Structure 1
Amino acid sequence: MENKTIQTQHSSIDWEDLHPTNRYAAEIVLGIRTSCEMERLACQRHLDDLQRQATPEFPYVFDESRADRVFEWFERCCRHVRGVYSGQPIKLLPFQKFDMGVVYGWVHMDTGQRRFRKAFHLRARGNVKSTEMSGLALYGMCGDCIYPPGQPDLRRYEHSPEVDCAAVDKGQAKRVWGDAREMGINSPEISKRLRIRRGYIEHATRGGLLKPLSKDTKNKDSGAPCLVVIDEYHAHPTSEILDVSYSGFGKRLQSLMQIISTAGKDAENSPCKKEYDYLCKMMRGEVPMQETYCVIIRELDQGDDPHDPDNWVKPNPVLQEDNEYAQELRRQIQTEHDEAFGSGDPQKIREWLTKRVNQWQKDSENKYLSSNHMKKWKSLAMPRADFFELVKGYEAWAGLDLSKTTDLTAVGYVFKLPEGRYAVTAHGFMPSERAQQHEHSDRVPYKQWAEDRWCTLTPGEVVDYNFIRSYMIKTEAEQQWVVKEVCYDAYNATHFTKQLEEEEGYERVEIPQTMKILSEPTKFFRELVIQGRIVHDGSPLLTWCLSNAVELIDSNGNIKLSKKHKDDSQRIDLIAAVINALVRAMSGDDGMDLNAHIMDEDFSF
């Protein structure tokens, strides 16, 4: 190469005899290697940090010996356990030497403790994430240490090292752990240092444990890990495992969390996507830089054509090389691309986009309303005063969804308008003493919504159903609504609706929560949105519930709404109440013939 110096933001550095970590960063910044914006920012950050190291405002140095120590570990001790190179010694690729060199090479200038406490790695499937993390897990058990910069003779190892391979479930957690176990068994250098058994891995002389960790693991918060690998973070419904693991870091001098993932298909609710969004802002300088957080994201840039094979190298750094594995990976990506887009199957296309080119998808596969449909729903809102004027004096069907008395519960109303149009509104209820807790868990402003009259906070720790009755009676009287029926889910509602019938004169109809009863109105509601034949009052609480709803589908194509997970805090109560009312409102003056559907369900096989 003709270039003798490499320009950084501050000055220049010599090209000759560059450390592999620095060389890779320079090649990316100079455009010698194809990269995305986020990878360029990571490399520029490293080069800039080299220029300001060992200063009062930046008390870290890049210790090449610490980076080289990890490289030597892999290439001398570790062997591949998967793919075309299975059983062969690992030869690190340039991008891996950058990633590992940055994470392990930066240390405090005085103590020698590692600079980075967290590292976030996002790259596509097939780019040796699991193999890399398995080797690092074994390094955490055998070789990780602290020593003053440039003085390896003074190195000090962790006593009783603890390494956790964490994932969303047991099977995924054992993936990295199992690869580490296989790698250890096949390496004489590693197996002599560790006791490797079927169910555990421990250091032969210093104790400690390398173990899988998931949400099902007992005593998750009792450890003192020196390394935690969070695998496929995009699949985690909450940040629980990450938070619990990180809370134990104060017990070690240089604990490290390695977060690895591809993009995911639930961009609206994923804790991984929230982390990703924040870290992109950090790398762009839109929020303050966390000096102890390493971020290396490889993805397509906005506007890149995902069908162009020349762009695939950005989320797939393995494709930078010309070797047998890179050639096979490119063939796999091409084959899966052709199959996905040739089939026209949205699920296959979404799978390819997330796993092969790291593009986040905003909707999960079974979202009830897509992002475009949600935009349509929002466009059908009208000012609340205008809405109530529109439906004043109309007949209405009321729907109830009375969940746990400590959670959100709801009443909804459906109105038939002329020319086949419908109007809907809904109101929520929550115990006031639980509102702050639910604001934290649900991440929505219940108190503000209560001030804006989209929901009611009832006194105490449980919902007082008398407030629901009072709201119904007052609102219906003020708006002169004629409520034909109260349509209810029997769960928690039988006694309450019986009181409404006996004391207030309401006619009540139980709505069985079965696929065959709920499928037709659930599909009909979506059609109304798509066709623009529905109006609503713009309730942000109802809109939030609707955005959370996913659909369950049986073998006959029947659907019903559900939360994503039974314990999920992304609630759907208000739209569930509306659907209950729509069961009876949608067809004829007498609504759906429930008896026919119930009999059909009872005797179907």
Structure 2
Amino acid sequence: MVRKIRMVTSSTNPEWANVHPTHRYAAEIVSGFRLSCEQERLSAERHLKDLKRQGTEEFPFVFDESRAYRIFDWFEHCCRHVRGPFSGELIELLPFQKFDLGCIFGWVHKDSGKRRFKRAFNMRARGNVKSTEMSGLALYGMCGDCVYPPGNPAFKRYEESPEVECAAVDKQQAKRVWLDAQKMGEASPDILKRLRIKRTYVEHAKRGGWLRPLSKDTKNKDSGAPCIVIIDEYHAHANSEIVDVLFSGFGKRLQSLMLIISTAGKDAENSPCKKEYDSLTKMMRGEIEMDEEYFVMIRELDKNDDPHNESVWPKANPILQEKNEYSLELLRQIRAEHKTAYNTGDPAKIREFLTKRVNLWQADSENKYMSGIMDKWKALGVSRDAFLTLVHGLDSWAGIDLSKSTDLTADGFVFKLDDGRYAVTAHGFMPAETATKHEHSDRVPYKSWAKDGWCTLTEGSVTDYKYIKSHIKTQESEQKWNIVEICYDPYNATHFTQDLEDDGYERIEIRQGVQTLSEPTKFFRELVLKGLIVHDGSPLLTWCLSNAIEITDNNGNIKLSKKHKDDSQRIDLVAAIINAMVRAMVAKDTKSIYETQEIRAI
């Protein structure tokens, strides 16, 4: 939000001169007058299509221009910049902001006047005034948000004790929007007379309520009835707990609204924000059913765009289309970061540029084991029936990773095929109580995976290892597998594997140091790169692979680990397969690809 903006007027586009700014922007995008990505174009097309069907029986919403102008006036007459070269000046909304805000606040139910959208998902690159915009909206939620029948502001209804939540992944980030809102309120006489703004709290002078920062550490997150919820930098959230808890509080207010704002992130495999992004992009493309109460605006580079090409940067940075002092300085900064990232070749800097400056999701972090090849792995999967047919009656090396009896444990199986490929599969075991906890806290769908046969949920709070023994015996008998060896991590496994040995299995202890695990761990990844592995498409195994972090010693030896010892992002199924691979890759009559060709260390 900057001064001296370039507005599209009749001199540049006369047929749109008297059109509402929200409609005008949509028309400019659809016509190609403004540069846009696919997702922004789909949002503009959606708005124009909705205008044609508004107020009908199947679509009971109308666009109330007075409600859209009300939010514009709030920013431009009451809100002031609190940092940067325009600090202290009234905010002047840019065209892209008038489209986003006009849609979110202008669309209402034709009879009740209640806001159409309950949620809004907005992604754009860093530097495009997300925080300033959210601060102004937080204050609007405290002071100006109301309901009235379309075009009839005389019947305005305000919420008593308004509650506005500024939520983020941690306290510091949550306070960023809150502190900016606090400063913005203090700088505005119009706002200051409505609110009590103190160092530790903000409340309405007459109607009470609160404007507060909120993070995962905040107690009683689920005790409120929010009017407006702002989820800042959602890409940084490890799970969707805050979003789910706050959204569950909706229904207690006239027209609650959740505003999710973010850039792209670096952990596309596990991020709840990326899952939301994927679902919403499918929705906007018409691949799944449209949620008429969810506003979506994603500004990013398109799939085939070259991130080195400056001419496409405005797709993710709409401010760059406005020729003014701020946009020119932003362009200089983006150029500098691009030059630094690619001249140094630093992977971390390159990822930072791609996620923050051109809004492109990155699949992994710098030390992910399967960095850049998860798509290759997924492409090597076959159906479960096809897999079982492929390995029926074959020799198999079984790997066991018992981990904690209160969390995920696994068995894995490795097969050597006649054509030089390896086939792998794995199965998980988890106490039902633990699975329920992770379903709620970490959004890991263990119950769904169990229903589909990828894991077994055991009764009680600990896993009875007899389930693993039973699974191995069942696979052996039903699939006619010949279990050559059972390869196990010695942690907590001596008694269990002794029972297996008593049943006639040969057990092999697999030490867990890099000296033992490095070669099979590299070998497994090389098989994926060369397309010499096949698996049964287990989503649980794929999830474990995507979680695995690579630890390297001074000699270039590697082993796998989780990010943190208490991390819920488990790797147990791939650990079981690696244990089995230690022995399978050196079995008689088979040459390791390390013995037959030079393989670079990766």
Deviation, 1:505, is 7.6
Q: Provide structure 2 residue ranges, at least 5 long, that are not aligned to the other structure.
A: 1-9, 589-602
Partner of 1:469: 469
Native 8 Å contact 2:135 2:181 kept in 1: yes
Q: Secondary structure at the match of 2:120?
A: strand
* Shift in alpha-carbon separation, 1:482–1:158, aligned structure 2, 3 A: closer
* Shift in alpha-carbon separation, 1:93–1:336, aligned structure 2, 3 A: same
Which segment is superposed worse, 324-333 or 536-545?
Answer: 536-545
Partner of 1:411: 411
Query: For residue 395 of structure 2, what is the amino acid of its counterpart?
Result: V
1:490-509 deviation line (CA, Å, top 9, x unaligned): 1x434424544677685563
Deviation, 1:43, is 2.2
Native 8 Å contact 2:104 2:120 kept in 1: yes
CA–CA distance in structure 2, aligned partners of residues 99 and 198 of structure 1 = 31
Deviation, 1:428, is 3.3
- Correspondence list, 1:522-533, <5 A: 522-531=521-530
* Shift in alpha-carbon separation, 1:154–1:505, aligned structure 2, 3 A: closer
CA–CA distance in structure 2, aligned partners of residues 473 and 144 of structure 1 = 64
Partner of 1:75: 76
Native 8 Å contact 1:71 1:92 kept in 2: yes
Partner of 1:387: 391
* Shift in alpha-carbon separation, 1:370–1:92, aligned structure 2, 3 A: same
Deviation, 1:447, is 4.0
Partner of 2:536: 538
- Correspondence list, 1:289-368, <5 A: 289-368=290-369
Deviation, 1:329, is 0.9
CA–CA distance in structure 2, aligned partners of residues 425 and 250 of structure 1 = 45
Which segment is superposed worse, 535-544 or 185-194?
Answer: 535-544
Deviation, 1:255, is 0.8
Deviation, 1:543, is 3.9
Confirm or deny that 1:548 pairs with 2:541: no
Q: Scaled by the length of structure 2, what TM-score is found? A: 0.83
Which segment is superposed worse, 29-38 or 227-236?
Answer: 29-38
Query: For residue 578 of structure 2, what is the amino acid of its counterpart?
Result: I
Deviation, 1:390, is 5.0
Partner of 2:449: 446
Q: Secondary structure at the match of 1:257?
A: strand
Please, what is the CA RMSD of the aligned residues? 3.5
Deviation, 1:220, is 0.9
Query: For residue 412 of structure 2, what is the amino acid of its counterpart?
Result: G
CA–CA distance in structure 2, aligned partners of residues 170 and 332 of structure 1 = 28
Q: Provide structure 1 residue ranges, at least 5 long, that are not aligned to the other structure.
A: 7-14, 590-605
* Shift in alpha-carbon separation, 1:423–1:58, aligned structure 2, 3 A: closer
Native 8 Å contact 2:299 2:316 kept in 1: yes
Partner of 1:147: 148
1:556-594 deviation line (CA, Å, top 9, x unaligned): 4665433456666653211112334455777899xxxxx
Native 8 Å contact 2:433 2:461 kept in 1: yes
Q: Secondary structure at the match of 1:442?
A: coil
Q: Secondary structure at the match of 2:85?
A: helix
CA–CA distance in structure 1, aligned partners of residues 135 and 437 of structure 2 = 38
* Shift in alpha-carbon separation, 1:539–1:407, aligned structure 2, 3 A: farther
Q: Scaled by the length of structure 1, what TM-score is found? A: 0.83
The percentage of aligned residue pairs carrying the same residue is: 63
1:327-372 deviation line (CA, Å, top 9, x unaligned): 0111111121222222233332222122111222233433211343
CA–CA distance in structure 2, aligned partners of residues 244 and 359 of structure 1 = 28
CA–CA distance in structure 2, aligned partners of residues 117 and 304 of structure 1 = 32
Partner of 1:247: 248
Native 8 Å contact 2:264 2:359 kept in 1: yes
CA–CA distance in structure 1, aligned partners of residues 85 and 200 of structure 2 = 27
CA–CA distance in structure 2, aligned partners of residues 134 and 555 of structure 1 = 46
Query: For residue 75 of structure 1, what is the amino acid of its counterpart?
Result: E
Query: For residue 335 of structure 1, what is the amino acid of its counterpart?
Result: A
Partner of 2:571: 572
1:490-537 deviation line (CA, Å, top 9, x unaligned): 1x434424544677685563735x6676555534433444356x6455
Which segment is superposed worse, 30-39 or 327-336?
Answer: 30-39
Native 8 Å contact 2:39 2:298 kept in 1: yes
Q: Secondary structure at the match of 1:223?
A: coil
CA–CA distance in structure 2, aligned partners of residues 89 and 333 of structure 1 = 26
* Shift in alpha-carbon separation, 1:344–1:252, aligned structure 2, 3 A: same
1:219-250 deviation line (CA, Å, top 9, x unaligned): 11110110000111222222221111111111
Native 8 Å contact 1:163 1:210 kept in 2: yes
* Shift in alpha-carbon separation, 1:353–1:57, aligned structure 2, 3 A: same
- Correspondence list, 1:147-546, <5 A: 147-372=148-373, 375=376, 379=380, 383-387=387-391, 389=393, 391=395, 396=397, 398-405=398-405, 407-413=407-413, 425-430=425-430, 441-443=443-445, 445-447=448-450, 449-450=452-453, 462-472=462-472, 479-483=481-485, 486-490=487-491, 492-500=492-500, 509=509, 511-512=511-512, 518-519=517-518, 521-531=520-530, 535=533, 538=536, 540=538, 543-546=541-544
1:78-118 deviation line (CA, Å, top 9, x unaligned): 22223332333211111111211221122223322222211
Partner of 1:562: 561
Aligned length: 570
CA–CA distance in structure 2, aligned partners of residues 554 and 268 of structure 1 = 22
Query: For residue 228 of structure 1, what is the amino acid of its counterpart?
Result: V
CA–CA distance in structure 1, aligned partners of residues 24 and 391 of structure 2 = 64
CA–CA distance in structure 2, aligned partners of residues 60 and 415 of structure 1 = 59
Which segment is superposed worse, 221-230 or 40-49?
Answer: 40-49
Which segment is superposed worse, 133-142 or 541-550?
Answer: 541-550
* Shift in alpha-carbon separation, 1:536–1:146, aligned structure 2, 3 A: closer
Deviation, 1:466, is 2.0
CA–CA distance in structure 2, aligned partners of residues 186 and 2 of structure 1 = 36
* Shift in alpha-carbon separation, 1:4–1:312, aligned structure 2, 3 A: closer
Native 8 Å contact 1:300 1:312 kept in 2: yes
